[in-house]
Structures are given as C-alpha cells and as structure tokens.
Amino acid sequence: MKNKLYFAALLCLLTSGMAYGQCAEDRHSTDMMHAWMSCDESMNPHMLLGESHWIQFEFDQVETIYDIYVWNLNHPDHAASGVKEMAISLSLDGATWDVVDTISIAQATTSGDYLPRFVVDLEGLSAKYLVFTALSTHGGSCAGLSEVKIYTEDVSGKPSFELDLTVCENAGLYTGLTANMEVSGDYSGAGVMDNGDGSFDFDPDVIGPGASTVTFSYLDDGVQTSLTESIEILECSDPRCPECIECGNFDQLIVDGNDIPTDKYFDDSLHSEGQVQATRDVDFRGRTEVELRPGFEVKADAEFLAQIRECHVQLLGNGSFEDDLSTWTFWNAQNVSVSYGIVTDEVFHFDKALRYEVITGSPEDTWRASVRNDLVLIEPNQSYRLSFAARGEGVPMMRVEVGQLDGTRQEYITNTALEIGESWTTHVLEFTADDITTSELLRIRFNFAGFEGVYYLDQVKLIRVD
C-alpha cells in the first residue's frame, strides 16, 4: 500500500459467518492502535481522484461485495479527522476503476461502545481491489477510519452467529452481547449473565484466561436451534490488557476461620483450613498456589472456586510513598541545592507522593541529585518491569538508572532519559537479570539534577514478568 499508514487498518472479510482478522465485536474501542489515519495526501490508485487521503484493500481473488460497515475514527483526540464524505472505488485489475458510490459517515461518538455505521450494500458488485477515498472530514486535517467490515456474501436475513470476541480477563463486564441476528433468542454459557430484560452481559473475570463458549438459542421457523461461538479471554499480563490486579500484601495469604466471608481472595500463594458456610460465595485466586489444608470445608449451598490466576506482586516497599520517605534514600552533591518531601495535594496513587525540587541543578552530572531504593532482591534470569508515575513543573525530563547494588554493578537500565510533562504519566521499563547466578540486591535510582524545577514521583512499582 503506497499510502502512508500511521496505524494499522483492520480489514475484516466476512464470508458465511467466518471472520478473519481482529473484527471482534461490533463495537469499537477508542484505542488509536485500532485505526487507520492518513495525514499526507498521495496519488490515489484511482488516478481520477488525484492526490488524496485513501486506503486500498486487495482481496486474494475477485470477490462479490455486499454490505460494507464502517466505524469512523473513534479516538477522542482525532474524531474530527474521521471521514465525512467518502468515495468507494472498485477495480478488477487495479488499473481500471469505477466510483460505485459516494457516501456520508457520521462522526464517531468517541465512546467505547461506538457501534458501526452501516454504509452501503453493493449488491454483489465484483472487485479484487477496493479504495476508500476521503472527500471530506469532520474538520480534522488528517483522514481516518477505525475499522471496516466488507461482506463478500449476502448475509441479510440469514441467521449467523458472529461473536468472535477477544476480551481481557480484567477488562470488566462486556455488556450487551449481540449475535448480529435478526431473530431474538437467549445466550448461555459460563460467564453469561441474563439481565432478565432481554439483554445479556458477559463477565470474563468469572472464567479466567482461555477459550469460552457462548451458545445462542432461538426459534427457527418453530424449531429450537442453537449456534455456538467462542470467546477468547486473554490473561491480564497480555500487553493488550490493563495491568493485572496487585496480589495481596502477603507472599502467603492464610484464609481461615469457620465462616470465610464472601469475597475474592488474591495472593501469590493462598492457604486455607477454614470453612465456607451455606450461601457464601468464596473465590480463591493464587498466582502460584492454592492449598486447601485438612479442616477446609465447603458446606452445602455454598459457592466456592479455587483457581490459579495472575496477579502482580509489588516487590518495592513503600513504592507509593504512603509511608512517607521510608525505604527511599536521598543524596545530592554539595554543588546542587534541593528540597524534597511528601505532599498530599499532588498525588497519583492513594494519598501521598514525593515532591522533589531542584533549586540549583547540575546539567552535566544528572546523577548529582537523586532518590534511590536499594532494598529489593532480584533473582537470576528473571525479568522485571519497573513502572512509575511522574510529572514535572519546568522540567522536561528525568533520568532512571537500574542496576545491581554490588557485585559486578551490572546496569540494566543506564541513566535513561524519560520525557515528563505537566500531567501525570506512567512510564514502564523492563529488564532481565541475565548476568547473575544468585540473588542480588537491586538499585533503582531516579536522577533529578539535570534541570531546575519540581519533580513529582508516585506509585513506583517493580513486578516480576514471565
């Protein structure tokens, strides 16, 4: 494709209920990763349309084109660059083109439950190549779309159950299951919740990572019929998912007592010799282990589930500065003048954050004013993810160093400059301790001397990653 693609376009080619690519549900996220946007005009494959914003789709063979669904650009910052008027050109050979339709597309709602805009039914026109050309936008200088579905069969009126859903275990409730069917029916399967008003939701958290099957049952000319579809549930550690929940505060959580309260219990390792009484609903989730010891009991009419589920173990004590400055060590050279302390009015996470002001800096020696933690033991060949939230006033960047405290003093992250802005941003850095053979103490150091101004730091988090 010659046109400049800033983001991956998602093309979903649908035949007989089969979906290729990441078509997923018929709703679109506001994620900019899921969009096509062109900011520089270039020569259109359909030469008549000249220099323009366009996107071309090529099929493996000549196809018949029926319904085309379009999701407009749904990112809040870019919705104005969504296409307003669009020409659809078809070609059998990539050389001879026809504009078969010119259509209008409403601006996207920028919400996560943005539904597709049904655009046009080409009623079986043949094409191997298809070009969408933006003739105008909703005011933006670029032009883009979030997603496109092109049907190569006439599916109107045919029952087809197209769920093809990929969700994160920790993304919360998926509301309003929809089968794209013109008949009404019932959904069932693990994690499916019947709201009693004809609507159904899906809770991936109930099931956890893996594949899950949803069944859609309906009456087809008086005959009870059911269709099934698979939902893929991604583990929270998948890069597409939100951060995993933090495990409990203990390496080993012991849940005992003769009446364990209804709740979900998380930790790296979980042990119990308690009792789950009738009507209680108890969910044990261990990252590495759930051990039910002698004496553990689930009474009749109680609900109990034990599972291995990912959670993150925060290895850094007081990473969120809630215990003020404990676990953190401050140092500055004599030629650098600083002032620092805990604040409660500029925080990212919970109630407190670190404020660090450089009054007189040292631009050449950025490490001459720093805060560090030297207390975490790291394991050989284990990978780690360091994340933290920072913001600044008058300071464009800060520097981060991560390395061994002793031994070889191997540096995993070498005084890396990270841009910071006026608003809180979370930064993520990863490294692997591939040079050590025994546990070693780690040094995490933030260097501030490079610029004069105020830095805020909060929720410094170190977790193991697989």
Contact positions vs Ca ion (CB under 5 A)? 320-321, 349-350, 352, 458
Provide, rounded to whole angstroms, the least separation between the CB of residue 316 and Ca ion: 12
Q: Report how far residue 442's alpha carbon sits from residue 87's, in angstroms, rounded to the nearest whole number.
A: 59
Q: Which is nearer to Ca ion, 309 or 352 (CB)?
A: 352
Buried b (16+ CB within 10 A) or exposed e, 390-410: bbbeebebbbbbbbbbeeeee
Residue type, 407: G
What are the two backbone dihedrals, phi and then psi, of residue 127, each rounded to the nearest 5 degrees?
-160, 145
Provide, rounded to whole angstroms, the least separation between the CB of residue 390 and Ca ion: 12
Provide, rounded to whole angstroms, the least separation between the CB of residue 373 and Ca ion: 15
Classify the C-alpha dihedral 143-33-177-153 as positive or negative. Answer: positive
Q: Which is nearer to Ca ion, 166 or 318 (CB)?
A: 318
Q: Which is nearer to Ca ion, 9 or 444 (CB)?
A: 444
**Which residues fall within 8 angstroms of residue 197, CB to CB, at 6 or more apart?**
none
Half-sphere exposure of 41 (CA within 13 A, CB side): 10
User: Residue number with the shortest CB distance to Ca ion?
Assistant: 320
- DSSP one-letter code for 141: S
Provide, rounded to whole angstroms, the least separation between the CB of residue 166 and Ca ion: 33
Provide, rounded to whole angstroms, the least separation between the CB of residue 386 and Ca ion: 16
A 10 A CB-CB count for 141 gives: 9
Whether 74 and 115 have beta carbons less than 8 Å apart is answered as: no
Q: Which is nearer to Ca ion, 216 or 348 (CB)?
A: 348
Provide, rounded to whole angstroms, the least separation between the CB of residue 43 and Ca ion: 53
Provide, rounded to whole angstroms, the least separation between the CB of residue 350 and Ca ion: 4
Residue bearing tokens 């920072």: 390
Q: Which is nearer to Ca ion, 331 or 350 (CB)?
A: 350
**Which residues fall within 8 angstroms of residue 196, CB to CB, at 6 or more apart?**
none
Q: Which is nearer to Ca ion, 53 or 349 (CB)?
A: 349
Q: Which is nearer to Ca ion, 214 or 420 (CB)?
A: 420
